[in-house]
Structure 1
Amino acid sequence: MAGLSLAEALKSPEALGGPWKVYGAARQQKPPWFPSSDAVDHFMSFDALSSNDTFQKLSPISDQVTHLFWVAIQHRDTEESNIAANAAMLRNVLEALKSPNHYSKLQHVTLQTGTKHYMGLIFDPILGATKLVHHDTPFQEDEPRLPYPNFYYRLEDVLDEYKESMSFTSSVHRSSIIFGASSRSLHNMLSTLCVYASVCRQDNLPFRYPGTAYTWEHFCDATDARVLAQQHIWAAVTDKAKGQAFNCTNGDVFTWRSLWKVMCEIFGLEFVPFEEEDREFDWVGTMKEKGSVWEEIVERHGLCKTKMEEIACFEVVKTVLCLEFQHVCSVNKSREYGFLGYANTLKSVKMWVGRLRDMKIIP
């Protein structure tokens, strides 16, 4: 979600600090939905968990790379495994970029993390089921780390370890719920809701809200992937932003009730108000049995070949829709430092659904 918008923002004629030469890197080969022209100058595929593969692919350009925009992520079963995998990827890339065969020109690294920094391990299969301590909302950047393992914390520490020896600066970007476009983002809430809406339309089912009365009525915020990309680039070229952490949201709030109405409008579904008995609705279990329905939808509409588990994350969405606090971040610091990017969240949803349709990821 973040990578596509970041690549497009860097190649925009209006990009701060541009014109940029962009190397896009991913573990997989370029997917069929990725724009073929002007999104990146070079697309590179390698496994960042492999130090050899990473060094082989990146060290030849270590004398060209001035900025590293880190939006890579891997999810594992436990947070300790998340820490090991994600820290290894970042270390391998930094080691390759300080290759002794070339003089490193790396000036700045932007690190994308998120609100798990403030909430704790809400997605952990064990800790997530307990009463986690979290910071008060709206979340603010100066809050101390929580007493739980967190790979976001480790990634910040890894950057601190390399800063002095490689002489680069860094910034941290804590996004809220990202609305963007991708077929394989494990935490893509919007694509999950699109799959759900498509299945409801296909099987003539009510589009029931799978959360709680609290989240239905209370405020939440989100991050348009385009705004997130703009903040990454702004921080990369703004001296005042170096060494800082910034929340990144659209600058407004919404209720899931209002967003549900928008989704119904987009997909031609009847709006069904939340009822307390809906809490007993086994949404995750029901949707996991709809894999064959999604395959029919993909075939019928000529979509990119995806399996439901690749494009949807029902457990993650269920967790967020059952939070017992308002998921809202303060963006005061970002504004005070000079970043004024924003988006209208409900309009953003419509745009990104249209983009997912154009990319033939959803019908």
Structure 2
Amino acid sequence: MATMQHASVALVVGVTGMAGLSIAQALKSPTAEGGPWLVYGAARRPKPTWFPSSTVDHFLTFDAVNSDDTNATLSPLSTKITHVFWVAIQVGLDEKDNINTNSVMLSNVLKVLTAHRPIKLRHITLQTGTSQYVGPCHFTGPSDAAQHEPPFHEEMGRLPYPNFYHALEDVVKSYSSYFSYTIHRPSIIIGASCRSVYNALLTLAVYAEICKHENTPFRYPGTKYTWKNFSDMSDTRVLAEQHVWGAVNEKARNEAFNCTNGDVFTWKRMWGVLSEEFGVEFELLDEEGELFDLVEEMKDKGQMWDKIVEEKGLVKTKLEEITCFAAIQYVMRFDFQLVSSMNISKEFGFFGYVDSFKSVRFWIGKLREMNIIP
């Protein structure tokens, strides 16, 4: 396929993650804005067996932390790539580590793509998240530390804690004389992949399968507050649609946008949907009992998951690589409603939405189609 036929040439960095996969699929849609697109998908590891070959035109493997590897891989493309979709993440031991590693990754890629004149790169979409408003998961400061009040909106200033999202924004903005950008802030991301660091749905699916295997109750690991109050989430199809929209609409350039499904849910009702889909008994929260510690409960379940994978003939995965028990438990113990406003996004002309309960059912189906869960 000749690059000259395409006015828009995309590089999706982090293409095997939930968001990256959906972005690549959105770009290859015949109705994609700004298309037809030639799509390069990039990941740190080789293409997994469940990744559809038709999703990208070219699959690249390189380590963005390594400047030499990045340069060798991307230099031949520096006169072709017009748009970067940044959905890559490496999680370190603490927020300082996150800042250093992720900043280096993004800087290495942008240095290569702006090394030759004239610069072909016109736009980068940067995915961050609602940690912008509540502080990073690694934050262990006082319980009364500064925090924004929901619903969260894009004009809210940065909280006074280290946050690698801030560092990534600063890297992108330092190149604003060369190309435009949009920043996309999803909530709890719902999609299908076993290559995403924070995959709430896959984590809950694995937990449910272990419960079934051991004949133990599928207990909610959160608080009475989150059980009954509102939260939102972000379907990767909506997120991908917003990335592409932001990449090609002049009105959106150099703006930040929240991205959620456009509705809210309670975990009480969602737990019922999950129980039904995973085939486990719906377990009401014991509002007077002690908090259930999911992290402690799952810490020694690696061999159990290996057994399930073997018995069910699933894609070979390791429990510690596909789950984020600490992160999902952290979210389920918030003392505020995790709700972001989509008003600015609508004012700028983006109206993507999906029903969150239908979204969860859809992506559970996809995880099964991909043979990641039974």
In the superposition, the TM-score normalised over structure 2's length comes to 0.93
- The one-letter code of the counterpart of 1:17 is G
Does 1:217 find its partner at 2:234?
A: no
Give per-residue Cα distances to partners, 1:275-318, cap 9 Å, x unaligned.
Answer: 12553323211111221111111001111111111111111111
Q: Which residue matches 1:30?
A: 47
Give per-residue Cα distances to partners, 1:220-239, cap 9 Å, x unaligned.
Answer: 00000010000000011101
Q: Which residue matches 2:261?
A: 250
Please point out which of 74, 78, 93 is paired with 1:77.
93
Does 1:355 find its partner at 2:366?
A: yes
Please point out which of 245, 266, 281 is paired with 1:270.
281
Does 1:233 find its partner at 2:249?
A: no
The 5-angstrom pairing of residues 75-114 of structure 1 reads 75-100=91-116, 103-114=118-129
Give per-residue Cα distances to partners, 1:70-91, cap 9 Å, x unaligned.
Answer: 1111111111111111110111
Aligned residues: 357
User: How far apart are the structure 2 equivalents of 1:10 and 1:278?
Assistant: 48
User: How far apart are the structure 2 equivalents of 1:180 and 1:132?
Assistant: 32
User: How far apart are the structure 1 equivalents of 2:338 and 2:289?
Assistant: 21
**Residues 359 and 310 of structure 1, relative CA distance in 2, 3 Å threshold:** same
Q: Give the drift of 1:341.
A: 0.3
The 5-angstrom pairing of residues 37-186 of structure 1 reads 38-100=54-116, 103-121=118-136, 123-124=137-138, 126-127=140-141, 130-164=143-177, 167-186=178-197
Q: Which residue matches 2:7?
A: none
Please point out which of 10, 21, 46 is paired with 2:38.
21
Q: Is the 8 A contact 1:208 1:278 kept in 2?
A: no
User: How far apart are the structure 2 equivalents of 1:98 and 1:301?
Assistant: 48
In the superposition, the TM-score normalised over structure 1's length comes to 0.96
User: How far apart are the structure 1 equivalents of 2:257 and 2:105?
Assistant: 23
Please point out which of 26, 34, 53 is paired with 1:9.
26
User: How far apart are the structure 2 equivalents of 1:195 and 1:90?
Assistant: 32
Give per-residue Cα distances to partners, 1:82-116, cap 9 Å, x unaligned.
Answer: 1111110111000110123x642000111000000
Of residues 26-35 and 245-254 in structure 1, the stretch that sits farther from structure 2 once superposed is: 26-35
Q: Give the drift of 1:134.
A: 1.1
What SS class does the counterpart of residue 22 from structure 1 fall into? strand
> What value does the CA root-mean-square deviation take over the aligned residues?
1.2
What SS class does the counterpart of residue 175 from structure 2 fall into? helix
Give per-residue Cα distances to partners, 1:250-285, cap 9 Å, x unaligned.
Answer: 000000011100111111111111012553323211
Q: Is the 8 A contact 2:189 2:236 kept in 1?
A: yes
User: How far apart are the structure 2 equivalents of 1:105 and 1:83?
Assistant: 28
Unaligned runs of 5+ in 1: none
Q: Which residue matches 1:280?
A: 291
The 5-angstrom pairing of residues 200-211 of structure 1 reads 200-211=211-222
Q: Is the 8 A contact 2:242 2:259 kept in 1?
A: yes
What SS class does the counterpart of residue 68 from structure 1 fall into? strand
Q: Give the drift of 1:130.
A: 4.2
Identity of aligned residues (%): 55
User: How far apart are the structure 2 equivalents of 1:186 and 1:312?
Assistant: 7
